[in-house]
Amino acid sequence: MQSVDYTTLIASANEIEHNWIPARTEQVYQRDRHTLSLALRTLKQRGWLTICWHPEAARICLSDPPPRTPDTFTFSDQLRHQLKGLALIAIKSIAPWERVIDLQFAQRPEEEPLWHLYVEIMGKYSNVILTDANQQIVTVAHQVSSTQSSVRPLQTGQPYNFPPAIVGTLPKLEEYFARWQERVSLVPGGLKHQLLNSYRGLSPSVAVEIIQAAGLTPEKSTEELLLSDWQALFKYWQEWLKILATKNFQPGWQSKGYTVLGWNMLKPTSSVQDLLNGYYTKEFNQQIFKQLHHQLRQKVTNLLKKMQQKADTFRHRLEQSKEAEAYRQQGDLLMAHLQQWQPGMTSITLADFETGKPVKIKLNPEKNAVQNAQSLYKSHQKLKRAKNAVKPLLQEVESEINYLEQVKASLSQLETYYHPEDLETLEEIRTELIGQNYLANNRPNQTQVDIDSKPYRYKTPSGFELWIGRNNRQNDRLTFRTAGDYDLWFHTQEIPGSHLLLRLEPGAIPEEKDLQFSADLAAYYSQARQSEQVPVVYTKPKHVYKPKGAKPGMAIYKQERVIWGRPQLAEEYLHNI
């Protein structure tokens, strides 16, 4: 993940200063243990300023509104008490090349600041500190005791000390080419390594940008550079310093990150705020998505394994119960031939009533013939009762297996994060599993925001819309709430997969190619994706029902027609759009 360096921090702070100072602080909200949001209002606009001290993604930028869930953090409560209603009158860097921003708050824009909120963007040492006008610490996001740092403890009630001064050579626009070249080339080595070793305040990402803008590679040795290479490199070095001096930043996307310098840019953005918010929102969503997907997949896999074992046990008991009738027949045989029994017998062979074939019956030598027959009748009754008890249990377990297979099929369609809706869809699966008591709710006090994620939407060859559910919640919504009288409903036959809805207007008749297209996608968005051909059923939505008490995503249907779907053709289509 790309870190916010000094150049990016100055670019963001400069933009905030021009567009949001002064602003009234209307609310303080802490999203998580590393992220704070301030609701700001100016005469023209209202927005949320995000301040993050995450060790990998510390930043300050305007971002999306926070979720409507309770804020239970002490740090934000203290900030809210001091800052709510005050004016944000300034945002300043405390010193050149220091990655510390001072947010100043006062009663009115023209008055002296009452509070300073220092935002330290320093990797794993990032922090946020609130002090009064006398630089006394009132509260701090991450307390640092004297045992943790003898150089710079940060604790409530202590005076706030700025970070230690930067040791080493700082970049200067006034430096001559010859002196700069001499410093960088003093010790031979890779170009990126030498630039970073020669100057403080230069980040790895900016060093790479300068090198690549000059048409060189970061690994190229300083001994291999020609004079023209040095001159091109120095030109962009000075361009970087001029941009910092004039604050003429050009934000945009690169192939593996972002830039505020405008070099090696693939696509520009309207502002630094949009750039940072978009980049870190996506990066964090990807991390959360990956963790949550692994958690859900592991949980569902383990549950399926347990359910399969339970089902196998019930099936084995049902197999045993088939012997019930044999015990009854043996009891009848024994009662019909009591005269053939002799004391001490351990078995007796008698002819079957119908076939006449010999049937060997095991006997308890300590019991007489009648008592042995009674034991056989008891075994018959026991196995018969077991059969009646196990059957509904097996049906219940098989129903759970079908449901979990459906959830597993939904997870298999969500392997990779591409869009925020992917995470929303995954969160809905998590919420569903909590509701079905398969997962514990680790956030019991968090209010669930009822935001419906969107299904996939594609166009058939004739231009009809095809909607595809991505989880059980979407499947139920499509089938039982969205579907109209003229639509067609698709699903793989007896195979877990998505519910599909071919949207049709009154009088519209889909062609064979539309039906085949829908069947191909139904096969692709199912557990049988790797098969060559998959049976797919389609019918009118009015012929699709949810059994009473059925779990989410479960449905039965009638008056269906079958068409063979081809997942490979669907995959080719999706790859080309």
Q: What is the pLDDT of residues 108-146, one digit of tens each?
A: 998 999 999 999 999 999 999 999 999 999 999 999 888
Q: What is the pLDDT of residues 62-82, one digit of tens each?
A: 999 998 888 889 999 999 999
Q: Does residue 512 register a pLDDT over 90?
A: yes
> Would 280 be classed as within a structural domain?
no
φ, ψ of residue 305 to 5 degrees: the values are -60, -45
Q: What totals of helices (H) and strands (E) does the chain contain, helices first? A: 13, 22
- The band of 88, judged by pLDDT with boundaries at 50, 70 and 90, is very high
Q: What is the pLDDT of residues 528-553, one digit of tens each?
A: 999 999 999 999 999 999 988 889 99
DSSP-derived letter for residue 503 is: E
**In angstroms, rounded to a whole number, what is the distance separating the alpha carbons of residues 234 and 252?**
23
Token pair belonging to 11: 């670019």
Shared domain check, 299 and 240: no
Residues 6+ apart with CB under 8 A from 336: 350, 353
Q: What is the pLDDT of residues 287-303, one digit of tens each?
A: 999 999 999 999 999 99
Shared domain check, 306 and 412: yes
Q: Which of 337, 317, 339, 335 is nearest to 327 (CA)?
A: 335
Shared domain check, 182 and 131: no
**In angstroms, rounded to a whole number, what is the distance separating the alpha carbons of residues 62 and 40?**
10
**Residue pointed to by tokens 């021009």:** 18
Residue 57: how many CA atoms within 13 Å on its side-chain side? 20
Give percent above pLDDT 90 in the chain: 74
Q: Which of 76, 9, 58, 12 is nearest to 283 (CA)?
A: 58
Provide the residue type at 205 as one letter.
Answer: S
Domain end call among 91, 115, 140 = 140
Q: Does residue 449 register a pLDDT over 50?
A: no
Q: Does residue 369 register a pLDDT over 60?
A: yes
Q: Does residue 450 register a pLDDT over 80?
A: no
- The answer to whether 569 and 490 are in contact (CB under 8 A) is no
**In angstroms, rounded to a whole number, what is the distance separating the alpha carbons of residues 250 and 229?**
25
The alpha carbon of residue 49 and the mean position of all alpha carbons in its chain are separated, in whole angstroms, by 24
204-213 vs 191-198: helix crossing angle, rounded to 10: 130
Q: Does residue 190 register a pLDDT over 50?
A: yes
Q: What pTM was computed for the model? A: 0.76
Q: What is the pLDDT of residues 137-177, one digit of tens each?
A: 999 999 988 888 878 889 999 999 999 888 889 999 999 99
Q: Does residue 445 register a pLDDT over 70?
A: no
**In angstroms, rounded to a whole number, what is the distance separating the alpha carbons of residues 128 and 38?**
13
Q: Is 176 exposed, middle or buried (0-12, 13-18, 19+ CB in 10 A)?
A: exposed
- The answer to whether 242 and 250 are in contact (CB under 8 A) is no
Shared domain check, 301 and 433: yes
Q: Which of 270, 287, 218, 267 is nearest to 57 (CA)?
A: 287
| Domains in the chain, number | 4
> Would 488 be classed as within a structural domain?
yes
Average the pLDDT over each of 125-129, 317-321, 421-425 and give the range with the smallest value.
317-321
Q: Which of 511, 528, 509 is nearest to 570 (CA)?
A: 528
φ, ψ of residue 573 to 5 degrees: the values are -65, -50
> What pLDDT is attached to residue 68?
84
Shared domain check, 316 and 240: no
> What pLDDT is attached to residue 250?
95
Give percent above pLDDT 70 in the chain: 98
The CA-based angle 341-344-350, given to 5 degrees, is: 35
Residue 213 or residue 319, greater confidence: 213
- The band of 447, judged by pLDDT with boundaries at 50, 70 and 90, is very low
Shared domain check, 308 and 250: no
Q: What is the pLDDT of residues 475-503, one digit of tens each?
A: 999 999 999 999 999 999 999 999 999 99
Lateral strand order in the sheet of 87-93? 59-63, 46-52, 35-41, 23-32, 87-93, 100-106, 115-120, 127-132, 137-140
Tallying the residues shown for the chain, one arrives at 577
**In angstroms, rounded to a whole number, what is the distance separating the alpha carbons of residues 101 and 121?**
8
Shared domain check, 248 and 371: no
> What pLDDT is attached to residue 443?
62
The CA-based angle 547-552-555, given to 5 degrees, is: 40
> Would 470 be classed as within a structural domain?
yes
Look up the domain containing 258 and give its range: 177-270
Domain end call among 389, 407, 439 = 439
Provide the residue type at 574 as one letter.
Answer: L
Domain end call among 140, 163, 196 = 140
| Mean per-residue pLDDT over the chain, rounded | 91
> What pLDDT is attached to residue 319?
78
> Would 156 be classed as within a structural domain?
no
Shared domain check, 184 and 222: yes
Give how far Cα 309 sits from Cα of 394, 404, 436, Å.
11, 14, 20
> Would 444 be classed as within a structural domain?
no
> Would 167 be classed as within a structural domain?
no
> What pLDDT is attached to residue 323?
74
Token pair belonging to 482: 């969205």
Shared domain check, 112 and 35: yes
> Would 22 be classed as within a structural domain?
yes
> Would 534 be classed as within a structural domain?
yes
φ, ψ of residue 349 to 5 degrees: the values are -110, 125
Shared domain check, 495 and 430: no
Q: Any idea what the CATH number is for the domain that residue 218 is in?
A: 1.10.8
Q: Any idea what the CATH number is for the domain that residue 28 is in?
A: 2.30.310.10
227-246 vs 177-185: helix crossing angle, rounded to 10: 110
- The band of 208, judged by pLDDT with boundaries at 50, 70 and 90, is very high
> What pLDDT is attached to residue 137?
95
**How much is the average pLDDT of 328-357?**
88
Provide the residue type at 384 as one letter.
Answer: K
**How many other C-beta atoms can be found within 10 angstroms of the C-beta atom of residue 353?**
11
For 141: left if phi > 0, alpha if psi spans -120 to 50, otherwise beta; the answer is alpha
Residues 6+ apart with CB under 8 A from 510: 460, 462, 464, 488, 502, 504, 518
> What pLDDT is attached to residue 451?
58
Shared domain check, 509 and 565: yes
DSSP for 46-58 reads: EEEEEEE--TTT-
Give how far Cα 177 sits from Cα of 172, 181, 192, 230, Å.
11, 6, 18, 9
Shared domain check, 344 and 310: yes
